[in-house]
Amino acid sequence: MALDCKTPKDVIHAIKEHNIQMVDFRFTDLPGTWQHFSVPVRLIDEDLFEEGLGFDGSSIRGFQAINESDMLLLPDPTTAFVDPVLEVPTLAIICDVYDPITLQPYTRDPRYIAKKAEAYLKQTGIGDTSYWGPEAEFFVFSDVRYGTYPYQAFYKVDSPEAWWNSDKDLGPNLGAQIPPKRGYFPTPPTDTLQDVRSRMVLALEAAGVPVELHHHEVATAGQGEIDLRFDTLVRMADRIMMYKYIIKNVARQHGLTATFMPKPLYGDNGSGMHVHQSIWKDGVNIFWDEAGYAQLSEAAVHYIGGLLTHAPSLLAFCAPTTNSYKRLVPGYEAPINLVYSQRNRSAICRIPMYSKSPKSKRIEFRAPDPSANPYLAFASLLMAGLDGIQNRLDPGEPIDKDLYDLEPEEAAHIKNTPGSLEAVIEELKADHEYLLRGDVFTEDVLDAYIRYKVTEEIDAVRLRPHPQEFVLYFDV
């Protein structure tokens, strides 16, 4: 249930009003996964919001070493909501991470980084508010199995909607499976997940997350999208964490499983998280100029210049998994071209033209995917855009042609996104000064993030044989 708590006293009142039995405290680790623990309501009082709750930081990915493991959570009362998916009446609260010795915010807390990005925007004088509207896609499968061993590796996903089930005995098989790349906007019964997505929407709205629409997406096998109403940076990052949690749990309630993995299927569209963004000052959208290209102001064009200039390093946060680069390939509507356009969906930066209203003018950065930690992704995008405005970075001329149908000599001048997580991590090592301004990101955060990505993800995939290698090389 949506709440409007502003103070610890409001939270205590909500606990009594809604007969809450458990309070769940949540925070985000460095890679972007929610962590939590629960406390019986009899132990909840206003002092807890000032004194905090301790936890072991050495057990959280990207956080502390074991010799300095004690950490502190301070609940943010404005984030409290009644969990819409749990059977036991539970109030959930998002927390900020603090050092228990210095009582200062923890530099590796992704939410703190996002807060500092919002503060830095005000410090620059460029604007006082940024608005964010991510479109996080996902897959819903009826079965998923995977494993990796020294002698074996496999994965298998399934869905009654998938084209490969058109000849199977499903007891009975009712047909209407979705061919590859044909999943955009079919009605039921082809879209078998209409009611499931509607229940996801109702659960999101019940938790205080406003939804604008939902629909089936392009890929076969249950790909969907639920669009959220735009909000400010930290609040939207909070809502993306709620979004992923609620979608996964509602799917599980229906005997299904949801994943935000960018590319679970070969040969079909992957899941992106196109991020709409704008900057406002004194209630005015500074991205709007009726006389500009696509009604963009000079500031907006330079903001795009920052996104394009820093895109290779930005992707370390916006497309942060080895699997992300199975999606960022030519075709499949993948936004791999480092250009901008007012309508072209293969450009990494698009300017939506649905409305002529100054209030709706925004930039859509299309390379991110939903495996991203939203606090880090949104903060890094804002920092790159602000660098573009501050240094008047030129994005070049827009390209409104079909980028996949250019003449070879013209296409040769267009740069593409890097092709691997390893490549974008190297770009981040070389290009991160813009992230350090205002102490938003710190060298400590970047070092911890890079170390985790290399040792736990890049090396974990790089060192293992792949099934396709057996197809290619077993008989050499």
| Confidence check: pLDDT of 332 > 70 | no
The pTM assigned to this predicted structure is: 0.96
Which of these is catalytic: 29, 83, 96, 137? Answer: 137
Task: Summarize pLDDT for 268-286 with one digit per residue, the tens.
Answer: 999 999 999 999 999 999 9
pLDDT tens, residue by residue, 310-329: 999 999 999 999 999 999 98
Known active-site residue 217: yes
Helices 374-390 and 110-124 pack at an angle, to 10 degrees, of 20
Q: Please write the tens of the pLDDT for every residue from 31-44.
A: 999 999 999 999 99
Residue 67 has pLDDT above 70, yes or no: no
Tell me, what's the pLDDT at 1?
Answer: 67
2 pLDDT above the threshold of 80: no
Per residue in 74-105, pLDDT (tens digit) is: 999 999 999 999 999 999 999 999 999 999 99
Quote the pLDDT of residue 331: 67
333 is an annotated ligand-binding site residue: yes
Marked catalytic residue, from 96, 268, 364, 427: 364
Report domain extents, the chain. 8-106, 129-473
Are 163 and 220 spatial neighbours (Cβ–Cβ below 8 Å)? yes
Average pLDDT (428-434) is 98
Catalytically annotated residue among 109, 225, 369, 422: 225
- Local confidence band at 414 (pLDDT 50, 70, 90 cut-offs): confident
The yes-or-no answer on residue 410 being catalytic is no
Active-site choice (51, 56, 195, 394): 56
If 0-12 CB within 10 Å is exposed, 13-18 middle and 19+ buried, where does residue 263 land? buried
Give the C-alpha separation, 363 to 300, whole Å.
8
pLDDT at residue 402 is higher than 90: no
In this chain, the answer to whether the domains covering 8-106 and 129-473 adopt an identical fold is no
Annotation-wise, does 270 bind a ligand? yes
333: pLDDT strictly greater than 80: no
- Contacts with 82 (C-beta within 8 Å, 6 or more apart), sequence order: 1, 2, 3, 14, 18, 20, 89, 90, 91, 92, 206, 207
364 labelled as ligand-binding? Answer: yes
Q: Specify the DSSP class assigned to residue 163.
A: G
Residue 69 has a pLDDT of 79
pLDDT of residue 125: 97
pLDDT at 164: 94
* pLDDT(401) > 80: no
As its CATH architecture, domain 8-106 has Roll (3.10)
Better pLDDT: 194 or 332: 194
pLDDT of res. 66: 67
The whole-number average pLDDT for the span 398-409 is 76
Nearest to 351 by CA among 293, 409, 414: 293
- 254 in catalytic set: no
In sequence order, the 6+-apart residues with CB closer than 8 A to the CB of 109 are 27, 28, 96, 97
Amino acid at 143: D
Q: Of residues 345, 392, 464, 466, which has the active-site annotation?
A: 345
Name the DSSP class of 177. Answer: P
Contact 162, 144 (CB under 8 A): no
Band (pLDDT 50/70/90 cuts) for residue 330 is confident
| 135 annotated to bind ligand | yes
pLDDT at 175: 85
Please state, in angstroms and rounded to a whole number, the distance separating the CA atoms of residues 187 and 166.
18
pLDDT at position 16 over 90: yes
Coil vs helix vs strand at 312: helix
Judge whether 350 counts as a catalytic residue: no
The mean pLDDT of 237-266, rounded to a whole number, is 98
Q: For all residues of the chain together, what is the average pLDDT?
A: 94
* 31 close to 50: Cβ distance less than 8 angstroms: no
Q: What is the mean pLDDT of residues 228-233?
A: 97
- The fold adopted by the segment(s) 129-473 is Creatine Kinase; Chain A, domain 2 (3.30.590)
278 annotated as a binding-site residue: yes
For residues 377 and 236, give the distance between their C-alpha atoms in angstroms, rounded to a whole number: 11
What was the pLDDT predicted at 123? 98
Mean pLDDT confidence for 357-369 = 94
Q: Which of 118, 366, 427, 432 is catalytic?
A: 366
pLDDT at res. 172 = 87
Question: Was 276 annotated as part of a binding site?
Answer: yes
For 117-150, write each residue's pLDDT tens digit: 999 999 999 999 999 999 999 999 999 999 999 9
Please confirm, yes or no, whether 137 is among the known catalytic residues: yes
Question: Is residue 366 annotated as involved in ligand binding?
Answer: yes
**C-alpha to C-alpha distance for 472 and 40, rounded to whole angstroms:** 56
Band of pLDDT at residue 70, cut at 50, 70 and 90 = confident
Q: Where are the beta strands (DSSP E) in 19-128?
A: 22-28, 34-40, 53-56, 70-75, 81-82, 90-98
pLDDT band at 357 (very low <50, low <70, confident <90, very high): confident
